[in-house]
């Protein structure tokens, strides 16, 4: 069952080939057997998961099951889940047990899915390698000496090693798509606002977006059907009609399934700076898309080169505001030794936050301070608008954009830890998508020296169905996504 997709698992549960309890136990056993090599999970509660599985089996027995009923799903430890420790990968929240469910968690529970465990992550989602977690780095199942990408690296490693059928993640600057690329998975960052952020611990509120990691685009579509929808508790949630994100995937395939689709190649994605082996696989994928009937056109995103600089002003600024709530007073870590209230604040934050979080909080406070707001923060917001305008202009001439997800394959643990700028450049192809609020998906497109390479497709606002269908049609003729890491294939 470990290589099965979500539809096959759902069919097996309906046919009673396997029960939800048995399926959940299978994954719990795999976690117990393999996770010491990966450190993909922070919290596993077998009793709680099996209790949900028993309830799912009762629903299935009554014929009340849906597409995800009884299927175990892992959740990034940034989503609050009632009765579960929710740490955000930080010492600051090491002892925090959430009293409520995030909307994403609640929707999965209502769909009958089983909460399999909470996955490791970069602290407060700040990182591109999953090395900043208070609970230690996550390792890549394809090479345990390499990073899995971040910040959703725990979710990526868990799904890649089949320690979960699928997992949630969050994407602020590429934190779903980049680990998907490095771990041979499909990772979707939806349009900003179509998935509720309520109960998702905030990093940068105008950039954070919940999404998912799964083996295939078809799996992502089924997960998005559950996750998407208006939430009145989230002021950034968009009130729009419900849609079926599987509708194009489930349609009958023609000889040229992507005939009429125009795919743009931004020249900024194909310049110097990327691994030549990565670019050769991207170019091969472009040929495959032409074979599927897509028309390839050249385009440009003139301000994309400014995206990293703009992001690392805007995101830290929002983080400095969002993380001000972690002060040692109401919940979370409190220093055991202090003389007065001010010292309690300062020591709790100094001891509770890791180095990368402190770095970004200091940057954010600086750019928002008097005398620097106009020079940095306001300028970054202007650049953000220019980047969004560039995408709008590109989509006047094409339906989707295509390029690499990451400039390289997975790098060694510790290789970029001493150079924050090099680490930040890992997200050079993904950040602009978040600044514009667009949907993007990364799909496997081959291997370079035994490590996975990811192809990124970017769509216009609310084009998830088209985006996932384009990914799905590629995966039907290029089954890279079916390959498993040899060490975790059994």
Cite the active site residues: 76, 151, 175
Count Cβ atoms within 10 A of the Cβ of residue 276 and give its class: 0-12 exposed, 13-18 middle, 19 or more buried.
Answer: exposed
Query: H or E stretch including 242?
Result: none
Q: Tally Cβ neighbours within 10 Å of residue 324.
A: 11
Distance of alpha carbon 457 from alpha carbon 438, whole angstroms: 11
Distance of alpha carbon 443 from alpha carbon 481, whole angstroms: 8
Distance of alpha carbon 140 from alpha carbon 160, whole angstroms: 9
The owner of tokens 């995408």 is 391
Distance of alpha carbon 108 from alpha carbon 363, whole angstroms: 36
* Tokens, residue 82: 């009632």
Cβ proximity of 168 and 76 under 8 Å: yes
Per-residue buried b or exposed e for 158-186, using 16+ beta carbons within 10 Å of the residue's own CB? bbbbbbbbbbbbbbbbbbbbbbbbbbbbb
Distance of alpha carbon 213 from alpha carbon 166, whole angstroms: 6
Q: Tally Cβ neighbours within 10 Å of residue 262.
A: 15
Distance of alpha carbon 21 from alpha carbon 368, whole angstroms: 51
Q: Tally Cβ neighbours within 10 Å of residue 15.
A: 8
Cβ proximity of 37 and 485 under 8 Å: no
Largest CA distance in the chain: 74
What secondary structure letter does DSSP report for 21?
Answer: H
3-state secondary structure 430-467: CHHHHHHCCCEEEEEEEEECCEEEEEEEEECCCCHHHH
Q: Which of 430, 403, 404, 400 lies closest to 207, judged by CA?
A: 430
């Amino acid at each position: 069952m470990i290589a099965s997709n979500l539809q096959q698992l759902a069919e097996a549960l309906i046919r009673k080939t396997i029960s939800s309890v048995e399926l959940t136990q299978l994954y719990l056993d795999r976690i117990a057997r393999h996770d010491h090599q990966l450190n993909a999970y922070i919290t596993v509660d077998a009793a709680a998961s099996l209790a949900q599985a028993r309830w799912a089996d009762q629903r299935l027995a009554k014929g009340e099951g849906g597409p995800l009923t009884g299927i175990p799903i892992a959740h990034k430890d940034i989503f609050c889940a009632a009765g579960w420790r929710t740490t955000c990968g930080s010492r600051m929240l090491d002892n925090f047990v959430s009293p409520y469910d995030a909307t994403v968690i609640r929707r999965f529970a209502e769909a009958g899915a089983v909460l399999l465990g909470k996955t490791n992550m970069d602290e407060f989602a700040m990182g591109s390698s999953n090395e900043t977690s208070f609970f230690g780095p996550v390792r890549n199942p394809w090479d345990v000496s390499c990073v899995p990408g971040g910040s959703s690296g725990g979710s990526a490693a868990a799904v890649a090693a089949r320690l979960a059928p699928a997992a949630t993640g969050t994407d602020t600057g590429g934190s779903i798509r980049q680990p998907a690329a490095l771990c041979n998975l499909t990772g979707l960052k939806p349009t900003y606002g179509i998935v509720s952020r309520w109960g998702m611990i905030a990093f940068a509120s105008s950039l954070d977006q919940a999404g998912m990691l799964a083996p295939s685009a078809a799996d992502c579509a089924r997960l998005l059907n559950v996750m998407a929808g208006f939430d009145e508790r989230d002021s950034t949630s968009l009130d729009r009609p419900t849609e079926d994100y599987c509708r194009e995937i489930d349609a009958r395939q023609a000889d040229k399934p992507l005939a009429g689709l125009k795919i743009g190649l931004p020249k900024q994605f194909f310049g110097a700076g990327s691994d030549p082996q990565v670019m050769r696989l991207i170019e091969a994928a472009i040929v495959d898309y032409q074979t599927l009937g897509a028309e390839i056109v050249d385009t440009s995103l003139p301000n994309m080169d400014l995206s990293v600089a703009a992001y690392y002003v805007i995101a830290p600024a929002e983080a400095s505001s969002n993380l001000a709530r972690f002060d040692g007073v109401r919940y979370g870590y409190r220093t055991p030794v202090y003389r007065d209230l001010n010292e309690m604040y300062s020591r709790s934050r100094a001891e509770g936050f890791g180095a990368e979080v402190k770095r970004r909080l200091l940057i954010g406070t600086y750019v928002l301070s008097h005398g620097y707001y106009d020079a940095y923060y306001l300028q970054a917001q202007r650049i953000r608008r220019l980047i969004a305008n560039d995408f709008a202009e590109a989509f006047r001439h094409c339906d989707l954009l295509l390029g690499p997800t990451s400039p390289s394959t997975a790098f060694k643990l510790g290789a970029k830890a001493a150079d924050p700028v090099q680490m930040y450049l890992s997200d050079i192809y993904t950040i602009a998508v978040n600044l514009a609020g667009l949907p993007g998906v990364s799909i496997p497109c081959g291997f370079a020296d035994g490590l996975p390479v990811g192809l990124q497709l970017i769509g216009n606002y609310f084009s998830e169905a088209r985006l996932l269908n384009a990914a799905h049609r590629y995966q039907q003729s290029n089954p890279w996504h079916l390959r498993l890491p040899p060490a975790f294939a059994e």
